[in-house]
Amino acid sequence: MKKFDKDKLIIGAAGPVLALVSSFVLTMLVLLATGLDPIEPIRLMIENAGYSDIQVLIVNQTGIYYLAALGVALGFRMNLFNIGVDGQYRLAAMVSAVVGASVELPGPLHILLIVLVAMLTGAFWAGIAGILKTSRGVSEVVSTIMLNAIATSLIAWLILPKNLGVQPAGSNDLTTGKIAESGWFPGIDMGQGNGEIYGFTFVALALGVVYWFALNRTRFGFDLRATGESESAAQASGVDAKKMILTSMLLSGALAGLSGMPTLLGDTHTYSLSFPVGVGFTAITIALLGRNNPVGVLFAALLFAFLDKASSSLDVEGYPKEITQIMQGIIVIAVVVSYELVRRYGTRRQQQKVGEELAAGGALKTDKEVSA
Amino acid sequence: MGIASAALALSATACGKNSSDSGSGSSDSKATKAAIAYDIGGRGDQSFNDAAYAGLKKAEDELKVKGAEAEPSAGEGDADKVQRLTSLARAGNNPVIGVGFAYAPAIEKVAKQFPKTTFGIIDDTSVTGENIANLVFNEEQGSYLAGVAAAKASKTGTVGFIGGVEVPLIKKFEAGYVQGVKDTNPKAKVLTQYLTQPPNFDGFAKPDLGKAAAQGQLDKGADVVYAAAGLAGSGAIEAASKAGKWSIGVDSDQYNQAGLKAYKDSILTSVTKDVSDSVFNLIKSVQDGKPQTGEIRYGLATDGVGLADSNPKYKAMTDLIAAVDKAKKDIVDGKITVKTAP
């Protein structure tokens, strides 16, 4: 049993490593093809990551990506592809910002209210896709993409000054008004010019532990993983698959809703036209790269945050910072390809081993299928 | 998993230096250094950011200023902008100019930390300070003149307005244009369309969107189309040209733009917005030791906005030009007040 675990670990790690290596190599080839030094940008990025103000940005971004990616990963474990994380994140941030700006409560209560509203909004938006799937069989892939577009229009309408938005005097931006200071999540000041680490980053890390516990140590987690592996088999063993689909969609949406909180509670204190977007899409790649495992996803989130933030000053040095987008794009493709390669290799190896054992007249061991 | 990321995690905690500490901190050297931080899209957007760059370039050539530029990353937040402006200011750049209203919250924070550095922000007056220069434009006034020209040039009495992204800034263009059309020909019809809604900024970037929207308006009988849509506007110009109708450009004199050479005959005029001069003037004021501060407004009166007249066909329309000149005079004299919101 122990020996097999080691194999499983190597095979599990081989996928991401293969994807990362190939994306780095391909990116260097792109740099070479455009006549640029392929090593220097990477060196600059690593140098940048040594500076404390960049480190603060990386840590904060990691928390944001981590929450969103946990939302995606939860869906993946259930065999649900929630592409709507970005819409859920934006709508939740917007609605919770409106609620947060309209009330004034004592500190912890104010924050709690904003967080709850964000979770409920995210869950509600994802829940629409969940209900469509369970009652009408609509693929969540299609419905969540469409809900992203609807969220965009809905937010654009809600944020108009005649509805819920505010246009500060002299500004061309639209905001939802400033949340009172009681609704600011305290952060850790890293010194003058270095910025603050958002307090919510630690909530994100704690939720990683909760995610691991809920999935691996509870009845609910077992049901969820079982339904993800085989809906019919789970149903046969008494799991209500429809209920599981809806529940996991709601939870996935709630996590997506939380991913806007570090920025909202720790930095902007308002939702505006310049609120960061695209978090939910990056999170899909991060969840894939991290193999939906809470620790793997954390490292993947850290890597993507590093790529984002350490590259931000590359253009000042004369290198296109878009290389990190190329790198991230290649990771998406490479990760899918390498997982399939590794899976096939794993299956073949397993078959081989069983064959050998049979030929040697050993007892037939029943190994479970190698899976994510 | 992720040996690479583990290594990164290690190096990320290795030392406590700040990204600006290593910068060539020659803030007291005589040569002025100026920096601009771009808005979404960055350099090469053929519009707003390029205009700002043109101003920096001019300052490099004429004032021997050393220019620095920095671009935003996709999906970044205020914290990234604060970091960018801080490192530009620490490196001794003065002035540091944020291109676009998105920089307002960041400039508010950073300007306090560098009281001796002048910060410029384009399109925003919501943040103020002794060392902040708010460079703003009366886009609605230029657009009003475009409305007058469109109403005069139109034979069908239907004209079109295409806005890139539905944000307050572009609504200023719409408001002025519609008012100009209606004041000139009360019976005229204005078709209005926005390409995308925030946070989807494709409406400033994708010419195919502008082309499809213009096609739709042309089909509905519009014979002049005004597109305030950055790069996407070039699609509208193309569609109008192919249909043999007029288009009106925006930001810079698009008649003279190399990329639009094939369609230039049908570009009636362009509403210019002199972002490059505003950048140049701010840099010059800092070099002269009298840095601009507070609201610096560029309107029709100072030719900060206006209508281009490079197209010979436009120059030949004396009736139209007379109407535009009269409208311009009335706005400058205060007889006409142009609305800033539709």
Whether residue B234 is predicted with pLDDT greater than 60 in this model: the reply is yes
Select the residue from A148, A188, A274, A303 to test the B interface by mutation, using most B Cβ atoms within 10 A: A274
B302-320 mean pLDDT: 92
Region for A115 from its dihedrals, namely left if φ exceeds 0, alpha if ψ lies in -120 to 50, beta otherwise: alpha
Local structure of A210: helix, strand or coil: helix
Q: State residue B4's pLDDT score.
A: 42
Q: Which of B5, B8, B18 sits opposite A194 (nearest CB)?
A: B18
- pLDDT band at B20; cut points 50, 70, 90: low
ipTM confidence: 0.81
* Minimum CA–CA partner of B6 in chain A: A299
- Terminus-to-terminus CA distance in chain A, angstroms? 18
Q: Which helix (H) or strand (E) holds A117?
A: helix A107-136
Compute φ and ψ for B270, nearest 5 degrees. Answer: -135, 145
pLDDT attached to residue A80: 93
Is residue B94 exposed (0-12), middle (13-18) or buried (19+ Cβ within 10 Å)? buried
> Over the stretch B138-178, which tens digit does the pLDDT of each residue have?
999 999 999 999 999 999 999 999 999 999 999 999 999 99
pLDDT of residue A1 exceeding 50: no
CA end-to-end distance (rounded Å), chain B: 56
| Chain A residues close to B25, C-beta within 8 Å | none
Give yes or no for residue B6 having a pLDDT over 50: no
Under 8 Å between Cβ of B96 and B113: no
pLDDT (0 to 100) of residue B324: 95
Per DSSP, helices labelled H in B94-186 are 104-113, 139-153, 168-184
**B6, B76, B87 member nearest A299 (Cβ):** B6
Mutant choice from A166, A316, A327 vs B, greatest count of B C-beta within 10 A: A316
User: Whole-angstrom Cα distance, residue B122 to residue B259?
Assistant: 26
Asked whether the beta carbons of residue B199 and residue A273 sit closer than 8 angstroms, the reply is yes
Measured CA distances, A18 to A5, A25, A332, B15 (Å): 20, 11, 12, 30
Residue A139 confidence (pLDDT) above 90? yes
Question: What does the block give as tokens for B6?
Answer: 């583990």
What gap in Å lies between CA B27 and CA B220, rounded to an integer?
A: 59
Please, are residues A166 and A178 in contact by the beta-carbon 8 Å criterion? no
**A61: pLDDT strictly greater than 90:** yes
Q: Is the pLDDT of residue B3 over 60?
A: no
The whole-number pLDDT of residue B191 equals 97
Question: CA A25, CA A15: separation in Å to the nearest integer?
Answer: 16
A52: which chain B residues are within 8 Å (Cβ-Cβ)? Answer: 15-18
Residues of chain B within CATH 3.40.50.2300 domain(s) are: 29-137+274-305, 139-272+311-333
Architecture of domain B29-137+274-305: 3-Layer(aba) Sandwich (3.40)
Do B199 and A152 make contact, defined as CB atoms within 8 angstroms? yes
**Ramachandran category for residue B221: left, alpha or beta (phi over 0 → left; psi -120 to 50 → alpha):** left
3-class SS at A174? coil
Residue B212: pLDDT above 90? yes
C-beta separation of B248 from B268 below 8 A: yes
Please tell me the least confidently modeled range out of A85-89, A114-118, B261-265. B261-265
pLDDT in tens, A248-298: 999 999 999 999 999 999 999 999 988 998 899 999 999 999 989 999 999
Residue of B272 and B41 predicted with greater confidence: B272
CA-CA distance, B5 to B19, in Å (whole number)?
21
Q: Where are the alpha helices (DSSP H) in B13-103?
A: 48-63, 78-90
Mind listing the pLDDT tens digit for each residue in A169-219? 888 899 999 999 999 999 998 887 788 999 999 999 999 999 999 999 999
- Interval A87-109 mean pLDDT: 94
> How large is the average pLDDT for residues B97-125?
93
In whole angstroms, give the CA distance from residue B107 to residue B121: 8
Listed residue (B184, B186, B162, B183) closest to B173, CA to CA: B162
Q: Does A153 touch chain B (CB under 8 A)?
A: yes
Range list of β-strands (E), chain B: 33-37, 66-70, 96-98, 119-122, 132-137, 158-165, 189-196, 224-228, 246-251, 267-273, 294-298, 305-307
Q: What gap in Å lies between CA A8 and CA A350, rounded to an integer?
A: 10
Please tell me the predicted confidence (pLDDT) of residue B2: 39
Chain B residues in contact with A20 (beta carbon < 8 A): 2, 4-5
What 3-state DSSP class applies to A177?
A: coil
**Residues of chain B neighbouring A55 (CB-CB closer than 8 A):** 12-13
Report the length, in residues, of chain B: 342
DSSP-based three-state secondary structure for A229: helix
In Å, what is the CA distance from B277 to each residue of A173, B55, B94, B252? 23, 6, 17, 12
* B48-77 average pLDDT score: 89
Class of residue A224 by CB neighbours under 10 A (exposed 0-12, middle 13-18, buried 19+) = buried
Collapsing DSSP states into helix, strand and coil, what is residue B99? coil
Fold of B139-272+311-333: Rossmann fold (3.40.50)
Under 8 Å between Cβ of B145 and B305 = no
Alpha carbons within 13 A on the beta-carbon side of B121? 28
Residue of A nearest to B134 (CA): A170
Per-residue model confidence as pLDDT tens digits over A18-29: 888 988 899 889
